[in-house]
Amino acid sequence: MTIALLILNKIYTLFVMNCNSGVKPMTLKTSFISGLILLLLATNSFAASRIKDITDVEGVRENQLIGYGLVVGLKGTGDGLNNSPFTKQSLQAMLERLGVNTRGQTINTKNVAAVMVTANLSAFATQGTRLDVNVSSMGDSSSLQGGTLLVTPLLGADGEVYAIAQGRVAVGGFAVQGNGAEVVRGVPTAGRIANGGLIEREIVFSLASKTSLKLALRNPDLTTARRMAKSINDLIGTFAADAINPATVRLTLPRGFNGNIVDLLTDIEQLIIEPDQPAKIVINESTGIIVIGKNVRVNTVAIAQGNLTVSITESPIVSQPAPFSQGQTTQVPRTQIDIATDVDRKLAILEGGVPLKDLVNGLNALGIGPRDMISILQAIKASGALQADIEVM
């Protein structure tokens, strides 16, 4: 950002000087446009991020809620009560609470489904506000399309009820079945109720009364933590932040600060820093995906890649006996074996200390696919020439 401001100031100075010297308007226009392009290139030359986007504030977090309920109103796509005894028990218990006694009676309905209800209680959510809930079938229901969730308490990790959910379930998928064919699109046994939850209990956390808290980096890195602490201290003009480990920066409300910790967070969350990242290669062997970080370096190595291919072809023939002979018709095996060793493949040299672009170009020049490239990277790492960590997913 500082580089961008310096370039913009330089552009403005040159523009004013040219105007005073009587340069032609077309020349002025060209110079100004060129300067703006230079400004855009400078501002995009590094991956800068706001502190707000790379950290989490201690105590400011979501909480998961869960509940068990019933969805009714299904058109014959609900649970089979004989196969899902928990659905039958829940249905009977609900009817008894409403004054209907069905104990000992035969209940045979396919319009009810037992479901699990989940939701995320956002930080500082107040009593009476609404939240979205997700509904997922537990039994052998084939679809929740058209169903309505009955009143379901949503509990937190401490076992307390924090919200109540109820409403019409919106399902993105569908299932259609006939006598000889079935079509299923999406997941019709899971749905969502927008604003279907009502918060009944708040999670008390007084952020404004705090005099110190911790900022947790989402991607822990010692250099990034130190840069963030230095940027905060430079803004405030006093020692208010220090990096206590690669994942945490401790923030303390300075004496004489005009405001509380919320005001301090508001001031620093827009600060721009450049996060550092370790040299790492991430490999997903099941899909052949390779992700190489920008700081990956390789020492000078020579690489040769070739495949040994053995092809075996069976072409049996039938042997017929001569006429009027006492022989029998038999099958005679015939096998052809071909071996290809890729003898035309040569050694390729990757120079030491090359950047990411040259490393990728060098590997691509070998004419190999992602699967072979994974093996080559692992072999370079085993030789000690690859200055990076390899993470296999």
Place of tokens 């309920």: 69
Could you tell me if residue 99 is inside a domain?
yes
Final residue belonging to a domain, choices 199, 229, 257:
199
pLDDT band at 113 (very low <50, low <70, confident <90, very high): very high
So what's the pLDDT on residue 384?
Answer: 81
Q: What is the pLDDT of residues 14-45, one digit of tens each?
A: 554 555 555 444 444 444 444 444 444 444 44
- Residue 169, pLDDT > 80, answer yes
pLDDT at 74: 93
The yes-or-no verdict on residue 184 having pLDDT over 90 is no
Using a pLDDT cut of 90, give the percent of the chain over it: 32
Report the C-alpha gap between 242 and 253 in whole angstroms: 12
Q: Which burial class, exposed, middle or buried, applies to 138 when counting CB atoms under 10 A from its CB (0-12, 13-18, 19+)?
A: middle
- Residue ending a domain, among 199, 227, 260, is 199
Task: Supply the pLDDT for residue 340.
Answer: 53
In this structure, the answer to whether residues 160 and 246 fall within a common structural domain is: no
Per the domain annotation, does 148 fall within a domain? yes
Structural domain including 93 reads: 63-199
pLDDT at 163 over 80: yes
Same-domain status, 166 and 253: no
Per the prediction, the chain carries an average pLDDT of 79
pLDDT at residue 311, rounded to an integer: 53
| Residue 194 domain-assigned (yes or no) | yes
Of 295, 280, 278, 291, nearest to 373 (Cα)?
A: 291
**Which tokens hold the place of 8?**
């913009």
Is residue 318 situated within a structural domain? Answer: no
Q: Report H helices in the chain.
A: 2-21, 25-43, 51-54, 85-97, 222-236, 261-268, 356-365, 370-383
Distance CA 170, CA 94 (A): 23
Phi and psi torsions of 141, nearest 5° = -65, 140
Residues 75 and 193 in one domain: yes
**166 vs 152: CA distance, rounded Å:** 6
Q: Which of 139, 81, 91, 88 is nearest to 115 (CA)?
A: 139
Q: What is the pLDDT of residue 138?
A: 93
**C-alpha–C-alpha distance, residues 186 and 193, integer Å:** 17
Tens-digit pLDDT profile for residues 365-378: 766 777 777 887 88
The maximal CA–CA distance of the chain, rounded, in angstroms, is 118
Interaxial angle between packed helices 261-268 and 222-236, expressed in degrees from 0 to 180 and rounded to the nearest 10: 110
Q: Which of 64-73, 116-125, 292-301 has the lowest mean pLDDT?
A: 292-301
Residues 82 and 40 in one domain: no
The 10s digit of each residue's pLDDT in 327-356 is 677 776 766 656 555 555 555 665 666 666
Run of H or E including 248: strand 248-252
Structural domains of the chain, count: 4
**357 shares its domain with 261:** no
Two tokens, residue 208: 């404004």
What would the pLDDT profile of 235-279 be if each residue is shown by its tens digit? 888 899 999 999 999 999 998 888 899 999 998 999 999 988 888
Q: What average pLDDT does range 109-116 have in this prediction? A: 93
Do 173 and 195 reside in the same domain of the chain?
Answer: yes
- Please compute the mean of the pLDDT values over residues 275-287 and round it to a whole number: 84
User: What pTM did the predictor assign?
Assistant: 0.66
163 and 256 part of one domain = no
Within this chain, do residues 190 and 128 fall inside the same structural domain, yes or no? yes
| CB 144, CB 70: distance < 8 Å | no
Q: Which of 175, 199, 223 is the last residue of a domain?
A: 199
240 shares its domain with 153: no
Supply 342's token pair. Answer: 């890729």
In this structure, the answer to whether residues 146 and 266 fall within a common structural domain is no
User: Is 312 inside a domain boundary?
Assistant: no
Mean pLDDT of 114-121: 96
Which residues are within 8 A (CB) of 35 and not within 5 positions of it... i.e. 6 or more apart? 7, 10, 11, 14, 15
- Over residues 112-124, the mean pLDDT reads 94
Q: Evaluate whether 175 touches 186 at the Cβ level (below 8 Å).
A: no
Q: Are residues 129 and 77 in the same domain?
A: yes
CB 374 within 8 A of CB 289: no
Q: Which tops the pLDDT comparison, 393 or 221? A: 221
DSSP letter (8 states) at residue 327: -
Q: What is the pLDDT of residues 290-310, one digit of tens each?
A: 888 878 877 777 766 665 444
* pLDDT value of residue 205: 84
Same domain, 69 and 165: yes
Q: Which residue has the tokens 């979501």?
A: 62
CB 191 within 8 A of CB 171: yes
Answer whether residue 216 is part of any domain. yes
Query: Is residue 327 domain-resident?
Result: no
Specify if 231 maps to a domain: yes
